[in-house]
Structure 1
């Protein structure tokens, strides 16, 4: 397929495991251009983009925007769970684009809000607050890693602040929480939120639950989810702990950022747990804030079910840079 020169933008969503690449025309994502690449098969992003452009007829793009699962500083992105470093100059060379942007992946999700189909959002906790004009929002990503980003609207445009909150300490409410923290700390050296609330975090929680049960065992995340479907006791207990911790952390972040416009959970692990949130008490854990429990009812929580939302966010953000 041959694409017109300087008509399209190239977008990439780089996770810890896969990279999704697509083209956009303005803010409109082109569904037929979306391709997925396994990061383990490539030494760097340049190789992914070179193959993608070749598959798209050597497309020459006017702009390029990538979302990365890691911190971005001074136009340079360092992947948290992948040995890739990405900078603006190399992105421009790899794509032939005159305008480039590099976002944290949660920033891209934040820029997607308001540009997603209604069917891509599933509310899991209702909110009752008076949102007012241009309310703040919050996106929380649970997948290969964990992170969150607040979304603020200003007269000059949308600001999506970056963070690395997945590497903050786990919260502790009970003696069991402390034992879990100690278990994670022994394995990883530091008890970070991501070490429980992520795909590999789910595996650590199961290892801890089975150890507490006197039957130490390790399982992959997908096998734990399958065991939950089969109603296996240890897997169900693992799921309950995971969901309760997710509710607690999401509630903490909501008190910090006051997202009267809503909280949005995204990422493969968050979507996989959607059917379990009500049964395992997500809403109760989310609102369990003592005398502020009533205040927590201001915040609605929804799941972003669009697997390509970050690409949509890249397109929306890039369009504002190319005016």
Structure 2
């Protein structure tokens, strides 16, 4: 077994591998034999112990699929800008993006590739991994600066105003799953009808409501909302996040998403690194089937789940 510590975000990592003899019941930790460990002790900013670890660099293994077979966009390096000790017993794996939008990150693997339990025994692998505490502009939905009264409470307001002004001068129309919605902003309210004649009226949302997909974009029935209002709000929410709200021709074209600013950079990042560029980074990220969530039919329900964690 070859152990690899792999990251797409900044991680703090520590690894221990232990084994137990054949036919033994799963014991308390004291009953295991330690065969490998690394507490990542060392000076802050230094690289990993080269006796234990080797760097995987580039965009794939020799003879293997491109981008490690998982559509990764980053180039792996041995730079301490990407892989370094923090001086407190942790390893930091940090992605970096340059001014041209190119990503680098780090991937290390143990030099040993012979980890295995004795015949009939068990092998146990433990790791201490901390995901980043994402706050501020990197997490607009939950960060306090984007809430009313916060320093970024109007982050999208000029864009929202531009969109509302555009659909004051021009008719708005979209087709969602074969159903047409049309309308126009009149006296500040987007007013129109669904293909079946159902009316809707949507007021201009705030930055907070766009990032949360809430308020004007998700009014409950007891707040004067309706299914049709929430459908329109859902699609506008997705369009604002993806930076395509001004052109409905782009609303269902993933190739146009996240190219223009302002946009949701948090969502854009996860769609950049996600397998098949899928992610669930905001409330209506399933619009146009861009979510990483796959809905399975009840006629053939899953019976098991297998997770691969970069080993």
Please give the range of the TM-score, normalised by the shorter of the 2 chains.
under 0.3
TM-score (norm. length: structure 2): 0.28
* The structure with more radius of gyration: 2
Q: Relative contact order, CA 8 A, sep 6+: which one is greater?
A: 1
Q: Structure 1 or 2: larger helix share?
A: 1
